Amino acid sequence: MNQPRRILILTADVGFGHRTAAEAIAAAARESFGDRCLVEVVNPLDDDRTPAFLHDQQSDYDKLVRQMPDVYKLRYQFSDAAVPTAILDSAFTVMLYRVVFDIIKRVQPNVALTTYPFFMAPLSACFALQKTCIPLLTVVTDLTHVHQVWFHDGADLCLVPSQETYDQALDYGLDPERVRVCGIPVHPGFSRQDREPAEIRSELDWDVNMTTVLVVGSKRVKNLMSVLNVLNHSGLPLQMVLVAGGDEEWHKPTHIYNFIDRMPVFMRAADLIVCKAGGLIVTEALASGLPLLIVDVTPGQEQGNAAYVVDHGAGDLAETPLKALEVLFHWMDNDRRVLLECARVSCSLGRPRAAYTVADLAWQVADDDCRHPSSRLLERIPRLQALLRAFDIPINEEN
């Protein structure tokens, strides 16, 4: 009997998108291949040997982007250049080589994927220095205008979410044969929603006929509470579903949820969504065919997400409560003509089966027989050896 293929997915808990994409791929692989595969999702930043500041940045990320957005933007823009990216690659190789080496040794994967770009450098270093080659896939988790660190030439396949990101990958020198447009993986549950919205609303005790606005966020999302207050007093025939919590008084029919694990169902039942421009929530909304009213954009990668939605016509950006009100009145006019067109565009952009696509590609390239490393990896060996020895980092187990 053939041994199950082992799929290793490396991720990080910097925000929600990287982890969610990893878990979505894992769920799709298990569903598609059952006991023919073993899938493990690992976060190297949680290893005790990882420098504390790298581990801590996972919990500090949200605080930084909320409290010091200009600092975050400056750091993002500075690092998105050739020289800083090369420095980051070297730094992550030094800090995580032994951690990643031991993960590879323990799991013995037939294929490795990463949904966090900074793991690419230590992964490719491991393969080069050990002179082995496990197929390596990068899964990009932002829609467009992404950081160039994603486009590491050590990847056998770079799986991108959009044509715009495909073009960007080629601009950075990746071989077109190694770039595939797959979408950002979302939970397989998004691909299984085929019930009518009215049926779901009835089940949830929502008004079946009223235009339903799904609001995802919290008071930490800039402008969200002000926008909700304006919509609450707008006079528009809306019902609002808040996945945010709170105890405010509402004039409109409002359903408030502190936490849900049925986001695919809620999105299927809604007519539009109010949210920030996070890669995860935007991708899930597109996978559900929802028009997006974006009320907050974190400087950096979220600017690309917002631009993708607005430029394609799947939604609008409202930087003030008044703008949000104008957008909603425009969408609701003429029997919701514009709203329905935004929904059509959103549906055309969405890729609810992206996780299955990525899982299928991983399965296809997985090989029980270890291949020889490519010449591009072998060429790096002297430089990598010098780098690690400069910091007294053992390259092999014997060292």
Q: Report the alpha-carbon distance of residue 356 to residue 159 in Å, rounded.
A: 13
CA atoms within 13 A on the CB side of 40: 16
137 with 229, same domain?
Answer: no
Say what the pLDDT of residue 14 is.
Answer: 82
Q: Report the alpha-carbon distance of residue 229 to residue 20 in Å, rounded.
A: 31
Q: What are 167-201's pLDDT values in tens digits?
A: 999 999 999 999 999 999 999 999 999 899 999 99
Do 137 and 39 touch, CB atoms closer than 8 A? no
Say what the pLDDT of residue 375 is.
Answer: 67
In a domain, 380, yes or no: yes
Tokens read off for 383: 């430089």
pLDDT at 4 over 70: yes
Across 49-54, average pLDDT? 82
200 with 283, same domain?
Answer: yes
172 with 255, same domain?
Answer: no
Under the banding of pLDDT at 50, 70 and 90, the label for residue 64 is very low
Tokens read off for 147: 């950081």
Percent of the chain at pLDDT exceeding 70: 85
Say what the pLDDT of residue 1 is.
Answer: 46
Q: Where are the alpha helices (DSSP H) in 183-262?
A: 197-203, 224-232
CA atoms within 13 A on the CB side of 304: 21
Q: How many domains does the chain have?
A: 2
Burial 347-357 (b: 16+ CB within 10 A, else e): bebbbbbbbbb
Say what the pLDDT of residue 59 is.
Answer: 58
pTM of the model: 0.86
Say what the pLDDT of residue 373 is.
Answer: 59
pLDDT at 354 over 90: yes
Q: What are 305-351's pLDDT values in tens digits?
A: 999 999 999 999 998 999 999 999 999 999 999 999 999 999 999 99
148 with 208, same domain?
Answer: no
Residue bearing the bigger pLDDT, 53 or 126: 126
Of 6, 136, 1, 147, the residue nearest 80 (C-alpha): 147
In a domain, 265, yes or no: yes
pLDDT at 380 over 70: yes
19 with 125, same domain?
Answer: yes
Q: Report the alpha-carbon distance of residue 230 to residue 207 in Å, rounded.
A: 21
117 with 169, same domain?
Answer: yes
Residue bearing the bigger pLDDT, 250 or 38: 38
φ/ψ of residue 219, rounded to 5:
-65, -20
263 with 287, same domain?
Answer: yes
Across 14-34, average pLDDT? 92
Do 15 and 339 touch, CB atoms closer than 8 A? no
In a domain, 399, yes or no: no
163 with 283, same domain?
Answer: no
Q: 317 lies in which domain range?
A: 189-349
In a domain, 217, yes or no: yes
Long-range contacts of 329-337 (CB under 8 A, 24+ apart): 329/234, 329/236, 331/272, 331/291, 332/211, 332/236, 332/237, 336/211, 336/271
Say what the pLDDT of residue 371 is.
Answer: 57
Lowest mean pLDDT among 28-42, 137-151, 174-188, 272-286: 137-151
Residues 258, 286, 304, 318: what is their CA dihedral angle, to the nearest 10 degrees? Answer: -60
pLDDT at 389 over 90: no
- The CATH number assigned to the domain holding 182 equals 3.40.50.2000
181 with 43, same domain?
Answer: yes
Say what the pLDDT of residue 195 is.
Answer: 93
Q: What are 254-306's pLDDT values in tens digits?
A: 777 766 678 999 999 999 999 999 888 999 999 999 999 999 988 777 888 99
Say what the pLDDT of residue 146 is.
Answer: 84
Do 44 and 378 touch, CB atoms closer than 8 A? no
122 burial via Cβ count (<10 Å: 0-12, 13-18, 19+): buried
